[in-house]
């Protein structure tokens, strides 16, 4: 596997490659630094956003807890009014005349209306210990004659009344939609107790939903997509108890079932597991969220902001980094272009000169002013061309000498050729004479052979004569003795 593309090593000219590598060496550390900065800033922004959301969630939870504490304390104050308790006792007295009952009912209505309005409640209901409706303001849900058997017997309001009669403590109901009511309603209960501790009734004060929603729908610091999701647990699942931002009709209409892939923050909040992180929100978008449980209202709260908006600053930072890189890189590339040209131009000149020399053109003048490597290269090429010109001149002169010598050798060769021709004629004559001598020599050889034979025979005869003489001499010697 090649780390460097072939087109950047062989197919591009030197200037292009110099600019590429120069830009790469500058750009690479800048990219690495930008990536590190991006990761660090993204992590820091994410953590800061989650911390901000956690603070908002805790602040809203604390505000709701304080509000719940104030509402329950106010309900206890009204529930312990001696005049209210005495009026209920008088109203419940079996011996009381209808006129007396009417007067006591008016008194109860006056007391509850006055104090509920003074304390910031929007309605009031007074029940007997058995659940009979003694008095209720006109803007409260229709309960019938008895809350335990009337149209709201299965409502959170009836559950609140039963808990209060059992525990004799102030409490807050779950919020719910009631027939004929535009907004969900919640109530605070308090037992109505005489000075001797005897319970005589139950006070149900209607919470001002607007005050609750004002706490929840305060989106300061949450950008354009921030939301505060309030959930309450119902048999159908987790219902959204307060309107969402830009979704005023969402109360008790959006439901998240435990285990769903969206609304993760509110699910965790309802489990009592506070925390924060990036999750899929109630509107099925990726959000950064912080969630917490509010015990007094039995609510879960998830404060969230779309991830895209929360991390938008990182996107702006990325564009800013790209702009800075472009601003820095542009003059660097221009400088690199100038440097590359200052290097490649002399080299290109040297290459063109070398190509002319290779093509046989030695007329060009190669010289450069400077002490850098390219100037030295061009000057060396110029010296080489001059040397080649000198060498070629010498070769040309030597060629002329060789031509003259060749001409002289040609003349000598022609003379020698004539002499050789004459020598050939003489040689032919000598050959003929040699043949005649050879014939005479053969005849002489034959004659010499005959002479040799006669000589050999004569020698034999002489030897035989000598032997005969020796025998004769011996015989003579013997005779003389």
* Inter-residue contact 236 to 259 (CB < 8 Å): no
69: Cβ contacts below 8 Å, ≥ 6 apart: 296
Provide the number of structural domains found in the chain: 4
Report d(CA 203, CA 302) in Å as an integer. 32
Clarify whether residues 183 and 245 are in a common domain.
Answer: no
> For residue 74, is it within any domain?
no
Q: DSSP letters of 111-129?
A: HHHHHHHHTT-SEEEEE-T
Helices (H), 187-281: 209-216, 264-270
Collapsing DSSP to helix, strand or coil, 348 comes out as helix
Residue 478 lies in a domain: no
User: Which residue, 82, 192, 194, is CA-closest to 126?
Assistant: 192
Nearest Cα residue to 294 out of 63, 51, 50, 53: 63
Verify that 241 and 201 share a domain, yes or no. Answer: no
In a domain, 472, yes or no: no
Residue 222 maps to which CATH number?
3.30.450
| Domain final residue pick, 188, 208, 228 | 208
Judgement on whether residues 126 and 90 belong to the same structural domain of the protein: yes
* Domain identity same for 237 and 280: yes
Q: Specify the pLDDT at position 479.
A: 66
Strands of 199-206's sheet, edge to edge? 133-136, 123-127, 199-206, 187-193, 171-172
Phi, psi of 257 (to 5 degrees): -90, 145
Domain match, 331 and 383 both: no
* Of 208, 230, 259, the domain-final residue: 208
Please give the residue range of the domain that contains residue 388: 365-467
> DSSP label at 182?
S
91 and 158 share a domain? yes
Helix then strand then coil, in percent of the chain rounded to 5, is 60, 15, 25
Length of the chain in terms of residues written? 481
> Residue 118 sits in a domain of what CATH number?
3.30.450.20
Considering the domain architecture, whether residues 256 and 165 belong to the same structural domain is answered as no
* CA atoms within 13 Å, Cβ hemisphere of 144: 14
Count Cβ atoms within 10 A of the Cβ of residue 158 and give its class: 0-12 exposed, 13-18 middle, 19 or more buried: buried
Is residue 201 one of the residues assigned to a domain? yes
Tell me if 4 is assigned to some domain: no
Residues 53 and 89 in one domain: no
Question: What six digits make up the tokens of 404?
Answer: 């003259």
If phi > 0 it is left, if psi is from -120 to 50 it is alpha, else beta; for residue 127 that is beta
Owner of token pair 């490649």 = 344
Rounded distance between C-alpha atoms, residue 39 and residue 117, angstroms: 55
199 and 120 together in one domain: yes
pLDDT tens digit string along 240-285? 988 888 887 777 888 999 889 999 999 999 999 999 999 999 888 9
Q: CA-to-CA distance for 250 and 256, rounded, in angstroms?
A: 12
Q: Are strands 133-136 and 123-127 parallel, antiparallel or unpaired?
A: antiparallel
Q: Could you say which of 355, 378, 410 is where a domain stops?
A: 355
Does one domain contain both 92 and 187?
Answer: yes
- Same domain? 120 vs 204: yes
Mean pLDDT by 10 residues, the chain (481 residues): 51 68 73 78 83 92 94 92 90 87 90 90 92 87 88 90 90 88 89 87 93 88 88 90 83 87 92 92 91 94 89 75 77 75 71 72 66 71 75 78 79 74 74 76 74 70 68 67 59
Give CA–CA dist 163/152, Å, rounded.
15
Residues 154, 259 share a domain: no
Whether the CB-CB separation of 232 and 252 falls below 8 Å is answered with no
| Domain-located, residue 279 | yes
Structure tokens at 17: 């490659």
d(CA 473, CA 245): 180
For residue 477, being part of any structural domain is answered with: no
pLDDT at position 1, please?
47
Residue 65 in any domain: the answer is no
Q: What is the per-residue DSSP string for 42-91? A: HHHHHHHHHHHHHHHHHHHHHHHHHHHHHHHHHHHHHHT-HHHHHHHHHH
């Amino acid at each position: 596997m090649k780390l460097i593309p072939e087109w950047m090593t062989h197919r591009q000219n030197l200037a292009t490659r110099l600019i590429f590598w120069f830009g790469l060496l500058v750009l690479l550390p800048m990219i690495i630094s930008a990536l590190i900065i991006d990761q660090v800033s993204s992590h820091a922004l994410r953590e800061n956003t989650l911390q901000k959301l956690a603070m908002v969630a805790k602040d809203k939870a604390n505000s709701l807890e304080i509000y719940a504490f104030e509402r329950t304390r106010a309900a206890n104050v009204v529930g312990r009014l001696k005049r209210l308790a005495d009026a209920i006792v008088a109203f419940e007295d079996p011996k009381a005349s209808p006129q007396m009952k009417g007067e006591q009912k008016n008194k109860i209505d006056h007391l509850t209306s006055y104090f509920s309005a003074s304390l910031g409640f929007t309605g009031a209901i007074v029940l007997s210990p058995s659940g009979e409706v003694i008095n209720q303001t006109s803007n409260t849900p229709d309960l019938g004659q008895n809350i335990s058997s009337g149209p709201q017997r299965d409502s959170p309001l009836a559950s609140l009344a039963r808990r209060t009669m059992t525990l004799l403590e102030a409490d807050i109901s779950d919020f719910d939609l009631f027939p004929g009511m535009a907004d969900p309603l919640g109530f605070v209960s308090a037992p109505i107790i005489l000075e001797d501790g005897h319970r005589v009734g139950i006070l149900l004060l209607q919470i001002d939903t607007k005050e609750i929603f004002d706490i929840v729908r305060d989106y300061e610091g949450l950008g354009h997509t921030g939301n505060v999701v309030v959930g309450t647990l119902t048999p159908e699942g987790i219902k959204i108890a307060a309107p969402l931002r830009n979704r005023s009709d969402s109360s008790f209409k959006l439901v998240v079932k435990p285990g769903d892939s969206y609304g993760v923050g509110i699910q965790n909040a309802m489990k009592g597991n506070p925390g924060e992180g990036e999750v899929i929100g109630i509107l099925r978008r990726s959000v950064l969220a912080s969630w917490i449980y509010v015990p007094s209202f039995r609510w879960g709260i998830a404060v969230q902001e779309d991830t895209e908006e929360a991390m938008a600053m990182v996107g702006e930072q990325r564009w800013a980094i790209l702009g800075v890189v472009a601003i820095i890189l542009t003059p660097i590339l221009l400088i690199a272009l100038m440097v590359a040209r200052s290097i490649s131009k002399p080299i290109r000149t040297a290459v063109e000169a070398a190509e002319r020399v290779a093509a046989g053109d030695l007329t060009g003048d190669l010289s450069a002013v400077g002490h850098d490597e390219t100037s030295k290269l061009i000057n060396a090429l110029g010296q080489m061309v001059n040397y080649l010109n000198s060498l070629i001149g010498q070769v040309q002169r030597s060629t002329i000498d060789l031509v003259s010598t060749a001409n002289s050798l040609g003349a000598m060769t022609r003379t020698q050729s004539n002499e050789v021709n004459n020598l050939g004629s003489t040689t032919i004559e000598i050959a003929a004479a040699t043949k005649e001598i050879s014939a005479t020599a053969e005849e002489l050889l034959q004659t010499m052979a005959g002479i040799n034979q006669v000589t050999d025979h004569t020698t034999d005869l002489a030897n035989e004569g000598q032997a005969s003489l020796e025998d004769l001499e011996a015989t003579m010697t013997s005779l003389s003795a």
